[in-house]
Structure 1
């Protein structure tokens, strides 16, 4: 569906940040604003799939061309 456009370092950062935000959500860190940590799903999914729709829109790629 989408072309892979997320490199290794970018991918690793996305996965780590996504997991950290989701851990904060499940730990209940944010009180009544806790639901905001669910945004961690976005970087986690884009890191796991190696594709970012926003990068596609702007023509950015952080991985080497195949």
Structure 2
């Protein structure tokens, strides 16, 4: 797996993932908040399968 999630993208994914999980735990948005596990996981591993399918890459190119 090559990195296809850049620093800014990674930070946004982690923050959104944590926020959704916290909202789910406090019953603000219900069970749908557990979807936050996906952006949280892709943020931590710096790889997004959907980006690969769509041909997207927000990582800087390595020389």
Give the TM-score normalised by the residue count of structure 1: 0.89
Distance, in Å, in 2 between the alignment partners of 1:49 and 1:61 is 14
Distance, in Å, in 2 between the alignment partners of 1:17 and 1:5 is 18
Equivalent of 2:43 in 39, 47, 53? 47
The equivalent residue for 1:57 is 53
| Structure 1 moving runs of 4+ over 2 Å | none
Give the number of aligned pairs.
62
Distance, in Å, in 1 between the alignment partners of 2:2 and 2:48 is 9
Structure 2, gaps ≥5 residues long: none
Give the TM-score normalised by the residue count of structure 2: 0.93
